[in-house]
Structure 1
Amino acid sequence: MKEMRSSPLLTFTLSSYADPITVITTANENNSYYKRYKKLLQDENQKFIDWGTGNMNAHMLEKTAKDTFKVRRRVIIGATFLENNTIIAWFNNQPLHSPPLALQYVLNSVFKQMFGDDYIFQFKNLPSHHTVTEKDEMGEWMHCAVYSLLISIIMCYVASYYIIFYVKERVCGAKHLQFVSGLAVTAFWFTAFLWDFIIFLLISTSIVLLMMWYNASLNCGTLMILLTIFGLAMLPMAYIMSLLFRRPSSAYSAFNLLCFLLGPVAFFCIYVMFSNSHILNYTLYHVLLIVPHFNLASAICNLTNIYFARTFCDETNYLRIMLRHIEPEVGHKNYTCFTFPDRCCDVEELSMNGIGQHLTYLVVVGLLLFFILLYMQSRSSDSLLYTFIDLLRKSPSDSGTNDHDVFVEAIKVRSDQINHRIYEVVLKDTTKYYKSIVAVNQLCLGLKKFECFGLVGTPGSGKSTALKLLTGQIKLSYGDGWIAGYNLKQEMNKIHRCIGYCPQNDALLGELTGRETLIIFCLIRGIPISDCGVTSTKLAKELTFYKSMNQLVCYYNGGCKRKLSTAVALIGEPKVILLDEPTAGIDPRTKTFVWNTLSRIRDNGKCLIIVTDNMDECEAVCTRMGIMVDGALQCLGSPQYVKSKYEEEYVLTIKLSSAEPEMFDEVDYFVQKHFVNAEQRYVAEDVVLYILRDIEYMHRSIMFHIMEDGKRNVAAIAGYHLSQFSLERIFYLYTKGRYIRVTAE
Structure 2
Amino acid sequence: MSQPPLVHARSLIKKYGSLTAVDGIDLDVQRGEAFGLLGPNGAGKSSMMRMIGCTSPADSGTLRVLGGDPATEGSAIRARLGVIPQDDTLDTELSVEENLIIYGRYFGLPWKTCRARATELLESVQLADRAGDRVETLSGGMRRRVTIARALINRPELLLLDEPTTGLDPQARHILWDQLFRLKRDGVTLVLTTHYMDEAEQLCDRLVVMDKGVVAAEGSPQHLIRTYSTREVVELRFVDSPHADMAEKLTGLADRVEVLPDRLLLYTDDGDGTLAAIVDRGLTPAGMLVRRASLEDVFLRLTGRSLVD
Task: Please confirm whether the aligned pair reaches a TM-score higher than 0.5, indicating the same fold.
Answer: yes
What's 2:234 paired with? 652
In the TM superposition, residue 449 of structure 1 has moved relative to its aligned partner by 0.9
Aligned positions of 1:339-350 closer than 5 A? none
In the TM superposition, residue 542 of structure 1 has moved relative to its aligned partner by 1.6
Quote the Cα distance in structure 1 between the aligned partners of 2:92 and 2:253.
Answer: 61
- Aligned-partner residue type, residue 244 of structure 2: F
C-alpha contact (below 8 Å) 1:562/1:584 kept by paired residues: no
Give the structure-2-normalised TM-score.
0.84
Aligned positions of 1:522-537 closer than 5 A? 522-537=104-119
In the TM superposition, residue 446 of structure 1 has moved relative to its aligned partner by 0.3
- Aligned-partner residue type, residue 650 of structure 1: E
Q: Confirm whether residue 466 of structure 1 aligns to residue 48 of structure 2.
A: yes
Note the residue ranges of structure 2 that are not aligned, 5 or more in a row.
none
Give the structure-1-normalised TM-score.
0.38
Q: Using a 3 Å threshold, how does the CA distance of structure 1 residues 614 and 655 change in structure 2: closer, same or farther?
A: closer
The correspondence for 2:278, drawn from 704, 707, 710, is: 707
Quote the Cα distance in structure 2 between the aligned partners of 1:722 and 1:583.
Answer: 27
Quote the Cα distance in structure 2 between the aligned partners of 1:721 and 1:444.
Answer: 38
In the TM superposition, residue 523 of structure 1 has moved relative to its aligned partner by 2.5
- Aligned-partner residue type, residue 484 of structure 1: L
Percent sequence identity over matched residues?
Answer: 28
In the TM superposition, residue 479 of structure 1 has moved relative to its aligned partner by 1.9
Q: Confirm whether residue 687 of structure 1 aligns to residue 273 of structure 2.
A: no
What's 1:487 paired with? 69
Quote the Cα distance in structure 2 between the aligned partners of 1:482 and 1:428.
Answer: 9
- Aligned-partner residue type, residue 672 of structure 1: T
Quote the Cα distance in structure 2 between the aligned partners of 1:506 and 1:513.
Answer: 15
Quote the Cα distance in structure 2 between the aligned partners of 1:446 and 1:585.
Answer: 29
C-alpha contact (below 8 Å) 1:480/1:488 kept by paired residues: no
In the TM superposition, residue 572 of structure 1 has moved relative to its aligned partner by 2.6
Cα deviation 1:35-92 (Å, max 9, x = unaligned): xxxxxxxxxxxxxxxxxxxxxxxxxxxxxxxxxxxxxxxxxxxxxxxxxxxxxxxxxx
Q: Give SS of 1:486's match.
A: coil
C-alpha contact (below 8 Å) 2:165/2:173 kept by paired residues: yes
Q: Using a 3 Å threshold, how does the CA distance of structure 1 residues 669 and 490 change in structure 2: closer, same or farther?
A: same
What's 2:293 paired with? 725
Query: Alignment RMSD, CA only?
Result: 3.1
Quote the Cα distance in structure 2 between the aligned partners of 1:531 and 1:578.
Answer: 23
Greater Rg by CA: 1
Quote the Cα distance in structure 1 between the aligned partners of 2:166 and 2:123.
Answer: 19
Cα deviation 1:641-672 (Å, max 9, x = unaligned): 23333574432333344455xx734x333322
Aligned positions of 1:80-229 closer than 5 A? none
Q: Give SS of 2:24's match.
A: strand
Q: Using a 3 Å threshold, how does the CA distance of structure 1 residues 626 and 708 change in structure 2: closer, same or farther?
A: same
Q: Confirm whether residue 737 of structure 1 aligns to residue 305 of structure 2.
A: yes
Q: Using a 3 Å threshold, how does the CA distance of structure 1 residues 440 and 658 change in structure 2: closer, same or farther?
A: farther
In the TM superposition, residue 593 of structure 1 has moved relative to its aligned partner by 4.7
Quote the Cα distance in structure 2 between the aligned partners of 1:664 and 1:690.
Answer: 13
- Aligned-partner residue type, residue 56 of structure 2: I
What's 2:33 paired with? 451
Q: Using a 3 Å threshold, how does the CA distance of structure 1 residues 674 and 682 change in structure 2: closer, same or farther?
A: closer
Q: Give SS of 1:505's match.
A: coil
In the TM superposition, residue 442 of structure 1 has moved relative to its aligned partner by 2.0
In the TM superposition, residue 540 of structure 1 has moved relative to its aligned partner by 1.2
Q: Which has the higher helix share?
A: 1
What's 1:521 paired with? 103
Q: Confirm whether residue 569 of structure 1 aligns to residue 148 of structure 2.
A: no
C-alpha contact (below 8 Å) 2:250/2:278 kept by paired residues: no
- Aligned-partner residue type, residue 681 of structure 1: E
Q: Give SS of 1:737's match.
A: coil
Quote the Cα distance in structure 2 between the aligned partners of 1:498 and 1:709.
Answer: 62
What's 1:605 paired with? 187
What's 1:625 paired with? 207
Q: Using a 3 Å threshold, how does the CA distance of structure 1 residues 474 and 659 change in structure 2: closer, same or farther?
A: farther
Quote the Cα distance in structure 2 between the aligned partners of 1:541 and 1:616.
Answer: 27
Aligned positions of 1:287-436 closer than 5 A? 422-436=4-18
Quote the Cα distance in structure 2 between the aligned partners of 1:538 and 1:590.
Answer: 21
In the TM superposition, residue 570 of structure 1 has moved relative to its aligned partner by 1.4
Quote the Cα distance in structure 2 between the aligned partners of 1:658 and 1:482.
Answer: 56
Quote the Cα distance in structure 1 between the aligned partners of 2:167 and 2:280.
Answer: 44
Quote the Cα distance in structure 2 between the aligned partners of 1:446 and 1:500.
Answer: 18
Note the residue ranges of structure 1 that are not aligned, 5 or more in a row.
1-417
Quote the Cα distance in structure 2 between the aligned partners of 1:634 and 1:552.
Answer: 44
C-alpha contact (below 8 Å) 2:141/2:172 kept by paired residues: no
Q: Confirm whether residue 639 of structure 1 aligns to residue 221 of structure 2.
A: yes
Quote the Cα distance in structure 2 between the aligned partners of 1:425 and 1:654.
Answer: 42
Q: Confirm whether residue 664 of structure 1 aligns to residue 244 of structure 2.
A: yes
Quote the Cα distance in structure 2 between the aligned partners of 1:691 and 1:433.
Answer: 37
